[in-house]
Amino acid sequence: MKKQMERNIYQEETAERPARKSAQFPITLIVGDNRYAGNIMNISVNGVAIFVDTHFPEKTIDCKKREILTLEVQSPLGKLIKLKCRIIWLRFQQYSEGLTTSMGMEIIDPPEDFINLFKNL
């Protein structure tokens, strides 16, 4: 498996992270009783980068870095895969069309269905 190198600007050592693949398929992010529709931007075998259109500032997703959330991934074959994920990074961006929330998430114990999805992209 190809690996990318990433340098942490706060440390002298280098950390390895699994290779990522671009992907575009729907997700549902579950935060408490709220469900947010969005899309995956890229995935690795143990992580995802997603974006969610929240449209209005009052609908900002109420969550924090390191929080554990549920992510439902709709695979290209129509299978629903549920993932427990920890937020690694979180970014809110304001556009003329509305507010977008982007997140990088670490998958806790990726299920076999997700690993197979990654391998088959």
- Which run of H or E residues covers position 113? helix 112-119
pLDDT, position 85: 96
Residue 116 in tokens: 């197979």
Q: Residue 33 falls within a domain, yes or no?
A: yes
Q: How confident is the model at residue 15 (pLDDT cuts 50, 70, 90)?
A: low
pLDDT attached to residue 54:
73
Q: How confident is the model at residue 95 (pLDDT cuts 50, 70, 90)?
A: confident
- At residue 58, φ and ψ (nearest 5 deg) are -70, -10
Q: Is 113 buried (19+), middle (13-18) or exposed (0-12) by CB count in 10 A? A: middle
Domain assignment present for residue 55? The answer is yes
Q: Which of 104, 98, 105 is nearest to 54 (CA)?
A: 98
pLDDT in tens, 71-85: 999 888 888 999 999
Yes or no: say if 28 and 51 are a contact pair by the CB < 8 Å rule.
Answer: no
8 in any annotated domain: no
CB-facing half-sphere around the CA of 28: CA atoms within 13 A: 10
Domains in the chain: how many in total?
A: 1
In a domain, 9, yes or no: no
Residue range 32-74, pLDDT digits in tens: 888 999 999 999 999 999 998 776 666 677 888 899 999 999 8
In a domain, 11, yes or no: no
- Cβ atoms 27, 71 nearer than 8 A: yes
Helix (H, G, I), strand (E, B) or coil at 12: coil
